[in-house]
Amino acid sequence: MADLTTRPVTPEDFTFCWSLYAPTVQEHLAALIAGGWNAEKERERFRGIWQSDETHVIQYDGLPVGWISVRKGETEFEIQHLYVDPRYQRRGVASILINFVADEARKAGKHVSAEVLKSSTVLDLARKTGFLKVGTTELTHQIRRNP
């Protein structure tokens, strides 16, 4: 089995993280943004999302293959972002990370929540890893996994 690790994000990871985030989000949000998708504006907005102590680069056999951001609150662990390079999808990378976060939350007596873009692939993954849909917005499904 491949070696899956994470490490804190650094400024040098910006371009890599943006390269995974932008195509996914643009597909779902471009039509809803007044004036359409402006890559430079969205890139600057993105800069504030990923650069935190809650964000980690996912490495598969030492190669960066994605990134995850988890906010650990008083009552829940919220997976705020999880992106895996399409070349490494369907290898269990996301499932392993989700289950790891869920296990840590369970040990702390907390549930795990997330909002996922309305994509059948993502919702299927959430269900396979024990999440239930608890709500819906125009763009997302709100999901939760109890301890």
For residue 1, pLDDT over 70 is answered with: no
Chain-wide mean pLDDT for the chain?
87
pLDDT, average across residues 87-104: 89
The domain that contains 128 carries what CATH number? 3.40.630.30
For residue 99, pLDDT over 80 is answered with: yes
User: How confident is residue 145, by pLDDT bands cut at 50, 70 and 90?
Assistant: very high
Burial per residue of 56-78, b for 16 or more beta-carbon CB atoms within 10 angstroms, e otherwise:
bbbbbeeebbbbbbbeeeeebbb
User: Which of helix, strand or coil describes residue 140?
Assistant: strand
How many domains, the chain?
1
User: How confident is residue 16, by pLDDT bands cut at 50, 70 and 90?
Assistant: very high
| Residue 71 CA, distance from chain mean position | 11
Whether the Cβ atoms of residue 17 and residue 57 lie closer than 8 Å to each other: yes
For the whole model, what pTM was predicted?
0.85
Structural domain including 58 reads 4-145
What are residue 116's DSSP bridge partners? 141
